[in-house]
């Protein structure tokens, strides 16, 4: 398996998926409005807690377990581990669903807006389906079936967008728009489950009695589940706490919910753009890293970790000048909301610690460091909660973004220290320093050029021109300083594709003879 080619293919799928979700988010912001988007975000964040509890730690644990069994040539263990993971996901999700429907009246009181409860119970119908789907997807991951993994994820996004567009723009009736958006999510969950199960069966997926695998699977997945559950709980707590603290600072209830909708529904989708690309790198590398770790190949482990970190930093660094210079224009153009654009521009730097945290957590989990990553997350979450509690009277809606920056900085620093201990020396100092200088210089120069262009040109034309200038400048400078050579990369990619076609042609010719 060629890691670069595989990562490139997965990245294309992830980028397309993220682009669709991003366009759909624009539609939601315009049809639901900031307040409706805030309601949607609150319900989805609470549902995410229970989805995380039921399945979040199982896919990566199953992936690592399959990689371990593959390294030792134990195929039967793969089938037993997959059955154990499905059994755990199904049992926990069904129990949660039944309990929450039985306790619907008291549970609904945790929402300050009754609309949130209605949305939550629409999502809840899909909990068991999407939990089992997550486990099946984890088996694809462990067996390095990245194409199927990515394609089904993309189809899920396409289904959600198509159903959402039809319901929001064309469906008539008494159903509220926020409920239509929730129904679209539910339909996408059912579709992805059906597709994944069909592919699993078609490819000869087997389940064996999970003897000897249930307890290890549960024990290994619990720290990851705890970390991700804590993350979902923190997000849910923030969705309730942050508007409340804004109201305590003098905002009305409607204005506070709108402010949260701007940050959570408009700013964060932009700032998390690198996540889809970085997840592609993690998707391809995690099984490979697990095999290296269990085989004791420390040299290869260090090399792969260095490549993952430098690629991640390059992705984040390349986007920062665009968001810093054009952030306000992006907010106005996409959301018709100048406040969101100002926040995007001001907090574009979050991309660096956020990206490092994401990739380093995936790498550490592939080495069995789930307890350490849980601790790092809790330290970062504590910093974010303190900011969300104390800073709203001073910073307003910016307080939440300051908290997120503090969260990721703490987690990234701790993760990097542990990575060095686990893998040895990481050769990232030089590229990081060069990248920081180039990003800072391009951002300052871009803002200066944009201010001049705005005097003579139309608003949109000025932003389009500066984006082209920034893109060309990055390609030239990154190549000049040895950070990234797009011509060389494409040449290698195409050469390997050509070589692969040549080998295939040779085999066909040999068969013909």
Q: Consecutive 10-residue runs of the chain (513 residues): their mean pLDDT?
A: 67 81 84 83 85 82 81 78 91 93 88 84 92 89 82 92 91 82 93 93 84 83 78 79 89 85 85 78 74 76 85 91 93 86 94 92 82 88 92 91 95 92 81 92 95 91 94 91 69 54 51 50
What is the C-alpha to C-alpha distance for residues 283 and 60, in angstroms, rounded to an integer?
A: 10
Give the domain ranges of the chain. Answer: 1-225, 295-501
Q: What is the pLDDT of residue 494?
A: 54
The residue behind tokens 């008539």 is: 172
* Residue 113, phi then psi, degrees to nearest 5: -115, 125
Three-class secondary structure of residue 481 per DSSP? coil
Three-class secondary structure of residue 174 per DSSP? coil
Q: What is the pLDDT of residue 317?
A: 93
What is the C-alpha to C-alpha distance for residues 370 and 366, in angstroms, rounded to an integer?
A: 9
- Of 56, 415, 350, the closest CA to residue 232 belongs to 56
Tell me the CB-side half-sphere exposure of residue 105, using CA atoms within 13 A: 0
CB < 8 Å & 24+ apart, contacts of 87-91: 87/210, 87/214, 88/58, 88/214, 88/217, 88/218, 88/221, 89/54, 89/55, 89/58, 89/131, 89/132, 89/134, 89/135, 90/128, 90/131, 90/132
- Of 331, 254, 338, 327, the closest CA to residue 26 belongs to 331
Helices and strands counted in the chain (H then E)? 21, 0
**Do the beta carbons of residue 368 and residue 292 sit within 8 Å?**
no
Q: What is the pLDDT of residue 505?
A: 53
Spell out the residues 6+ positions from residue 413 whose beta carbon is closer than 8 angstroms to its own. Answer: none
């Amino acid at each position: 398996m060629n890691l670069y080619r595989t990562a490139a293919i997965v990245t294309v799928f992830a980028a397309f998926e993220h682009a669709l979700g991003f366009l759909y988010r624009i539609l939601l912001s315009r049809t639901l409005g900031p307040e409706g988007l805030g309601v949607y975000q609150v319900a989805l964040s609470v549902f995410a807690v229970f989805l995380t509890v039921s399945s979040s730690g199982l896919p990566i644990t199953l992936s690592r377990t399959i990689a371990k069994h593959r390294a030792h040539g134990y195929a039967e263990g793969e089938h037993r581990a997959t059955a154990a993971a499905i059994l755990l996901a199904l049992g926990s999700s069904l129990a949660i669903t039944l309990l929450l429907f039985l306790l619907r009246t008291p549970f609904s009181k945790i929402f300050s807006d009754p609309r949130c409860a209605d949305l939550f119970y629409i999502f809840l119908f899909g909990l068991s389906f999407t939990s089992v789907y997550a486990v099946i997807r984890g088996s694809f991951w462990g067996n390095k079936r990245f194409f199927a993994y990515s394609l089904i994820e993309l189809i899920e996004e396409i289904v959600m967008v198509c159903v959402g567009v039809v319901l929001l723009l064309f469906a008539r009736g008494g159903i509220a728009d926020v409920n239509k958006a929730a129904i679209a999510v539910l339909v996408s969950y059912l579709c992805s489950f059906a597709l994944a199960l069909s592919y699993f069966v078609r490819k000869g997926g087997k389940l064996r009695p999970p003897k000897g695998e249930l307890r290890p699977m549960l024990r290994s997945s619990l720290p990851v589940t705890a970390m991700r559950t804590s993350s979902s709980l923190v997000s849910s707590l923030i969705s309730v706490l942050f508007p409340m603290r804004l109201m305590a600072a003098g905002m009305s209830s409607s204005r506070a919910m709108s402010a949260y909708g701007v940050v959570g529904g408009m700013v964060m989708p932009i700032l998390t753009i690198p996540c889809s690309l970085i997840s592609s790198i993690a998707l391809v590398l995690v099984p490979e890293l697990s095999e290296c770790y269990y085989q004791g190949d420390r040299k290869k482990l260090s090399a792969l970790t260095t490549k993952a970190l430098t690629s991640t930093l390059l992705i984040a660094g390349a986007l920062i000048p665009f968001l810093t210079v054009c952030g306000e224009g992006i907010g106005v153009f996409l959301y018709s909301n100048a406040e969101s654009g100002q926040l995007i521009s001001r907090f574009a730097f979050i991309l660096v610690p956020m990206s490092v945290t994401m990739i380093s957590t995936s790498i550490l989990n592939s080495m069995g460091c789930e307890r350490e990553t849980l601790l790092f997350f809790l330290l970062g979450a504590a910093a974010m909660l303190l900011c969300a509690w104390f800073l709203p009277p001073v910073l307003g809606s910016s307080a939440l973004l300051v908290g997120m920056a503090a969260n990721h900085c703490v987690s990234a620093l701790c993760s990097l220290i542990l990575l060095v201990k686990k893998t040895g020396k990481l050769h990232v100092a030089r590229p990081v320093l060069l990248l920081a200088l180039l990003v800072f210089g391009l951002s300052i120069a871009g803002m200066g050029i944009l201010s001049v262009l705005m005097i003579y040109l139309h608003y949109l034309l000025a932003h389009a021109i500066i984006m082209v200038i920034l893109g060309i400048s990055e390609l030239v400078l990154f190549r000049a300083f040895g950070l990234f050579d797009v011509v060389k990369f494409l040449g290698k990619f195409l050469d390997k594709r050509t070589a692969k076609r040549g080998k295939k042609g040779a085999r066909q010719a040999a068969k013909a003879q």
